[in-house]
A and B are shown apart, each in its own frame.
Chain A
């Protein structure tokens, strides 16, 4: 781990330029939760760390006409306690509050959490259900990526090698819920993560988005299952049918937190509970 240069640019654009100049030798570090673990386990061996710790105003939380804007460097513990986040979407504040432990949440940034694309994470599923999008800064230009297109695989995102996530934009949901199932008491990582956002016209469901993560490589939505709810009353039978569709269609993984079979069963249970919560939340 010796002889790593620690560079501290003060703007995202400067950081991205450094990445362009230094190529594969350089790694971005924000809060450092993932990067330090990967350094310790020798999964990465960069000669340069481009730290985002000195970037000015990278951790804002503000409400705009198109929704909530969160700076990529906002810490999860600050987000869970933010009055703005709590009033905008209680389920989102709840999602941040159940990540890891308080030390992780003090260190972890929202941008880092998404960019690491660790499958066993909480925010990605909730934010995908909320139809969030991210702003990224490249060496030459900025662009916006819908979260639906951001996660490509294990620890792999749509970010190009010089791009850095700078901001997350979240449209206001009518109702939302986040359910996390943890199978190992000594750690906070989910075995199954379910985010739901929904809109209703009295009893009729106008719109529904369900993203399931942690049990699969990247958070997944099944649009045909979501469409089953459109224009319908969410009866117990319909909720069970949608949960069943997620359970049967997804291809869960096996790891220390549960087998594929077990996760298939838990997906059914937790999609059902999350749907019941948005249905009953008036």
Chain B
């Protein structure tokens, strides 16, 4: 089975495994984290054709032929993606375990809605949990990113 991840084609064995496990174990893309394992926390967020999905409960067979983007696929020529840069500039993390999921969800939000209000940001990101509680800085980072993009 072929998966398109971050612009490259990968031959993988699927056998009804979750996308998260294939990304981490077979492709060594360990920026995608497992948190709750049931789609509630957002640590395993990846983009599928630009939309956010929980890779922990998505079968690889469901995403063949689609473009999968993980946190490793964002930087270009050594430069961070503007959303990554905004998170760095605003110190929008402590332990950073949730950060890949927040960054990818923010990219999807700004694709759908380039100038979201504070409430729209809170609403869209409400399915991503940060157990360090960096929410205020994350909100600042998303606002900064929306101005940069």
Contacts and interface: CB of A to CB of B under 8 A. Distances in A.
B12 interface: no
A234 B82 CA distance: 54
Interface string B43-84: 001001001111001110110000000000000000000000
B40 A37 contact: no
By size class, the interface of chain B is 20 to 34
B31 interface: no
Interface in A147-205: 186-188
B33 to A, nearest CB: 14
Contacts of A4: 15-16
A67 B92 CA distance: 47
Which of B45, B59, B108 has the most A CB atoms < 10 Å from its CB? Answer: B59
A248 interface: no
B54 A104 contact: yes
Contact of B58 (A3, A36, A51, A101): A36
Interface of B: 14-18, 37-42, 45, 48, 51-54, 57-59, 61-62, 105, 108, 124, 126-129
A6 B61 contact: yes
B16 A103 contact: no
Q: Which 4 A-B pairs have the closest CB atoms?
A: A101-B127, A4-B16, A36-B57, A6-B61
Contact of A104 (B14, B17, B127): B127
Nearest to A1: B16
A49 B51 CA distance: 24
B16 A107 contact: no
Interface centre among B15, B17, B40 (most CB of A within 10 A): B40
Contacts of A102: 52, 105, 108, 124, 127
A40 B34 CA distance: 14
Interface in A19-49: 29, 32-33, 36-37, 39-40, 49
Contacts of B59: 6, 29, 32, 36, 49
What interface size band does chain A fall in? 20 to 34
Contact of A1 (B17, B124, B129): B17
Nearest to B126: A101
A32 B54 CA distance: 11
Contacts of B37: 40
Contacts of B39: 33, 37, 100-101, 103-104
A83 to B, nearest CB: 15
A77 B123 CA distance: 13
A11 to B, nearest CB: 19
Contact of A103 (B14, B54, B62): B54
Contacts of B105: 102-103
